[in-house]
Structure 1
């Protein structure tokens, strides 16, 4: 916290900012990451939560992007098997939309554009004879199955920030970069925390990973002109009670040529999304509207036997995707690729335009290569074969890890052990150290949430509020009573005092 000179200051605590901070710190560069809110507070916790090549992008001839994303799927699955896992998708064939030959050709490309070691190839199926056909309307007789991956998106961001911190980076949440003055060799950067206190740091390079605010940051804070800009596209999702029992996800084609997904979610629910709508409001105020809820319900109801209505929606969320503006007429067709814009008219400024969660590691690696070359300091690329915190499991075998954890701690409730294993992976050892019963975890503040876990999230993962804990570090908010957030915030007020700790931001410590 007392350090005032850095090689790199990264602005933005979403997936790209956290990924770049991790990559740069691992190369030996001195790094500060600042985020004006909580980690993954905005776009990076509002995705469809897929690690995927993007099958539909083939229709827009985005072969390079799809290949890059397909290559990254298995890199990421090996890096964090606790928060990412393979998922099989079923595409029912609607004869009124894309023809069979087109789907077969697309899936052939999808299978062969990148090497696969973990994920199985696609195949055709007869829906009446397949478990995935059971909840579907009878008119859908044919279908296709292919592979992609699933990720706990907000936890991915947190783990990248944690890895960056453990490799030497300073991570400051609830800290806004309010001013950046450019010199010939260095930036003078003002950082303002949630109390209004300001300090100034110096950096040889400034990384603008502000997501939807990338243009605002350039104009208002760095006072730099750029020809590049992002296009804000709103994506909304709804969550309903579980619609089926099998483990498959669905990809549904719709008459407007868009697609939506229906995905098993948090054991008890089904996630349906997303929409693609041009957005012109303030990014921090994005919210789902009734038309989007109606649209997602209607499109899913075209396929499922059980009609889905707005009354069935138990939760919803929206995010703004800051996509690289390629002047496409169709919001759904705007490229999901990215551009790293390096400005060396004075101290270095690297701005991130666009991107998607699947390619964050590659984007961060490319940013790290540029920073290393520019600063003439640091070691080479390293993240391709590295695990994220908690992901260092033998053979990346989550099932074996979970079985061993349960055998060693048979007193752990099954649901709790599964949630902890998926959230923390091998870091569960820190939570379980010295514990022989649930009583050793302290107060059960909410059902399944104990004081020991809260302490871990505050001390290790920058959590401060009930929203951080219930909706980003976990999705416990979906499973608990409606008043849980207010109850947890009250408990935090009674048991936690704000402090400033070496790990980074305005943090909290137990009384």
Structure 2
């Protein structure tokens, strides 16, 4: 890329960066994306795994954001039927907090602010003695949202961008940028190798928690906007109830916590909202957050949950838009909306920086960002992503149906494995299942992982490390033994690098 001028250079491989890269490449722009670490290695892989309108945002009068997010649920269900699936959410009514009439009004708006095609509307429900919630709760409400594999949503958008001609490079950090004439000269420093320079007609700064640092490292940039970093933490425990619905729990502090079925065997509980002022790369849950999540779960559910039941925790840092309206607000009340700042040099070499945003609205954000660059690229095509299908989603009705198809075609797959592959890869699993007729055809095992699967992830999905594979491309790290991790690390060290250098080779 150092010998070529690209139309658009994108900084950051989170959901907004890959969304922008895909949108721009599909409109005919030449695009290069550089990520300092792995795709989805920060905020985008540590969400609550929801595609949702944001029911509680109605309390803060964020009607535009909620309307846009509600509409995107239906779009993403069509785009990624293997990664985005419908979810019914139950809200036990807690007396003394939000009154029932207020919740009914909110749910009415939630049902009607945007067009619903496939998702059913809300309703009132009653809890029986057999319910997993305590007997203190007699009635409640149920409404629709969706759940998502957030990190794989990022990777599939990167693959879509690549299919449209974009160059995607992970472990390549942008270490400097300056305007030279009508172009940007951007210095790229690989994890291993010699720094090089790329010229670009425009830059999109989608660095998430590092958006301000990227601006500070650029010469002559006058944008003064900043962000507020808020840590959100989750705990994963064995399933605390057998129902397919998620639960949304109201706390006395006005916040809400989700309890969501997670990978069939587990419950995901979160999130917290804690202001954060240290390194966004390695946030971790603290004792107060663990206690907070356990306590609210105890307030609502009959289960006897303790710290010893926690099988995994994760934390992410959300870069929230900071402005005069947000000054002094509690972290939970800061807007999840997004904002763009565009700066140019007499109509040339524009820099568009993204502040804020949420997973659900990444596609609309990307579309709006590229629209903001239209004056600089009048030749670009029209918006197109609303009708796109993400890789793996082709000819998928539901992942459950695809799992059944996998079991028929590959009789050696048990049901849990077939479901994992359908919900993670969709049709892409066929690339490495290929013509296998026995489990041995897929190579050695690393816990739940197959050798052919690992080869595929390295060759075709930018995976390089154990963490890339077991926490972002898959969630097979939960329950994986230390021995299996060590064997996987050894395999990647000895053979993975060769696989990565030959992206067109056979993956089995």
Q: TM-score, normalised by structure 2?
A: 0.95
CA distance in 2, matches of 1:49, 1:229: 26
**Residue in structure 2 matched with residue 13 of structure 1 by the alignment:** 13
- Shifted more, 463-472 versus 425-434: the winner is 425-434
Are 2:235 and 1:235 equivalent residues in the alignment?
no
CA distance in 2, matches of 1:310, 1:434: 44
CA distance in 1, matches of 2:301, 2:202: 52
**Residue in structure 1 matched with residue 136 of structure 2 by the alignment:** 139
**Residue in structure 1 matched with residue 334 of structure 2 by the alignment:** 334
- Shifted more, 314-323 versus 344-353: the winner is 344-353
CA distance in 2, matches of 1:337, 1:373: 24
SS at match of 2:22: helix
Q: Structure 1: 5+ residue runs without aligned partners?
A: none
**Residue in structure 1 matched with residue 400 of structure 2 by the alignment:** 399
**Structure 1 segments of 4+ aligned residues over 6 angstroms from their partners:** 507-511
Are 2:453 and 1:453 equivalent residues in the alignment?
yes
CA distance in 2, matches of 1:453, 1:3: 34
CA distance in 2, matches of 1:372, 1:498: 41
CA distance in 2, matches of 1:408, 1:2: 46
| Matching of residues 32-51 of structure 1 within 5 Å | 32-51=32-51
Are 2:164 and 1:164 equivalent residues in the alignment?
no
The alpha-carbon distance between structure 1 residues 508 and 475, as it changes in their structure 2 partners (threshold 3 A), is farther
**Residue in structure 2 matched with residue 272 of structure 1 by the alignment:** 269
CA distance in 1, matches of 2:506, 2:275: 42
- Shifted more, 242-251 versus 340-349: the winner is 340-349
Query: How far off is 1:223 after superposition?
Result: 4.6
The alpha-carbon distance between structure 1 residues 325 and 2, as it changes in their structure 2 partners (threshold 3 A), is closer
CA distance in 2, matches of 1:475, 1:318: 15
CA distance in 1, matches of 2:169, 2:312: 30
**Residue in structure 1 matched with residue 26 of structure 2 by the alignment:** 26
SS at match of 1:160: helix
Query: How far off is 1:510 after superposition?
Result: 9.1
Query: How far off is 1:267 after superposition?
Result: 1.1
The alpha-carbon distance between structure 1 residues 85 and 163, as it changes in their structure 2 partners (threshold 3 A), is same
Question: Which of 366, 369, 377 in structure 2 is aligned with 1:367?
Answer: 369
Deviations 1:257-316 (A, max 9, x none): 100000111111110000011111121132111111111111111001123222221110
Are 2:462 and 1:465 equivalent residues in the alignment?
no
The answer as to whether partners of 2:459 and 2:507 remain within 8 angstroms in 1 is no
Q: TM-score, normalised by structure 1?
A: 0.95
The alpha-carbon distance between structure 1 residues 482 and 290, as it changes in their structure 2 partners (threshold 3 A), is farther
Alignment size in residue pairs: 503
| Matching of residues 435-446 of structure 1 within 5 Å | 435-444=436-445, 446=446
CA distance in 1, matches of 2:419, 2:70: 28
Q: What's the C-alpha RMSD, in Å, of the aligned pairs?
A: 2.0
CA distance in 2, matches of 1:83, 1:121: 22
The alpha-carbon distance between structure 1 residues 468 and 223, as it changes in their structure 2 partners (threshold 3 A), is farther
SS at match of 1:476: coil
